[in-house]
Amino acid sequence: MKYFSASFLLFALMFLQIVFAAGSGGGGSFRTTPDATQVPVQSCTEDTWTCTQWSACSDQHTQTRKCELSVDCLSIVTPKPEESASCASVSQLLSSLQCHTLGSVEDRIRCRLQLSNSDLRNELKIAYLPEECRTRSGASQDSCIHAYSSVQPCWARPMIERSACVKNVFGISEIKKSSDACNTQECKLELEKNVLWVVKFKLYDLEERAEWLLEKKYITEDQAVRIIAALEEQKVSFNAAQSLGDRKQVLKNAKKLWIDFLLEVEQ
């Protein structure tokens, strides 16, 4: 990946400001930040730990994972999840999941939409694996899980505040200033990676809006499943894009999907 080009910066700035300016509603679920930043009590009800997936069963019949504190709620202490357990215990724990092992994206989305808030929280505590992260493995999957976990507090905010919240989480409140401050290739590459995450989380925001519309009974469950699954496909395409032009096309496709969806809802 090369240094930022002027066209990339312009693309990122324009997209973040206007591409999804028109929309409706908003929703949210969980609350975390990437580096254990402290969050006011009213913003969250418990500390959030981000855990990797359980390892394969070892010769000692144990499985392990790594858990890191993602958000530290003020005046609240939440114990660290177990990082090692017997294979039998892990198997029993995972077998209690209702949605995690279902075969298709649509089935998993539908299942999660039907869960109560408490069941959904329990499901994600046992195995937090966003759909996009399923397409990755190893360190890339762990990084993906952490990125999703880090932005969760933003969805609990009013819609108008979300974009700024996500950019703040990734340390790019002002992209051009951040780019100008980067003097090394390593810095530029990290900044570009964060910009791409911020852009992609615009699509995740649309999924949250679709869930809000479902909660308010403005759309059917089938409509929600269809648009969320379609947006997930666009995120995978965005990851596979090899050029700025390809990424632009993915975002144009996603914007059209969303506009067509809203027109369908209004009918």
Closest CA to 132 of 78, 203, 82: 203
- Which pLDDT score, from 0 to 100, does residue 207 have? 92
pLDDT higher than 60, residue 42: no
Is residue 127 situated within a structural domain? yes
Q: How far apart are CA 51 and CA 84, in angstroms?
A: 12
Is 65 inside a domain boundary? yes
> 20-34, 127-141, 206-220: which has the minimum mean pLDDT?
20-34
In a domain, 12, yes or no: yes
> Would you say the C-alpha torsion 159, 156, 108, 36 has a positive or negative sign?
positive
**pLDDT tier at 12 (50, 70, 90 boundaries)?**
very low
| Portion of the chain with pLDDT greater than 90, in percent | 31
Domain that holds residue 223: 6-266
Q: 184 exposed, middle or buried (CB, 10 Å; 0-12, 13-18, 19+)?
A: exposed
Distance, in Å, from the CA atom of 50 to the CA atom of 267, rounded to the nearest integer, reads: 41
- DSSP helix/strand/coil, 84: strand
Amino acid 7: pLDDT: 47
Domain count along the chain: 1
For residues 116 and 220, the answer to whether their CB atoms sit within 8 Å is no
Antiparallel, parallel or unpaired: β 62-64 and 48-51: unpaired
Edge-to-edge strands, sheet with 48-51: 37-39, 67-73, 48-51
Give 213-240 as a DSSP string.
HHHTTSS-HHHHHHHHHHHHHHHHHHHH
- pLDDT recorded at residue 43: 55
Mean of pLDDT over the chain? 80
Q: pLDDT confidence of 1, banded at 50, 70, 90?
A: very low
Residue 47's CB is within 10 A of a number of other CB atoms, namely 21
Rounded mean pLDDT, 142-166:
85
Virtual CA dihedral for 210, 17, 30, 56, nearest 10 degrees? 90
196 within a domain of the structure (yes/no): yes
Tell me how far apart the alpha carbons of residues 163 and 166 are, in angstroms, rounded to a whole number: 5
Residue 1 falls inside a structural domain: no
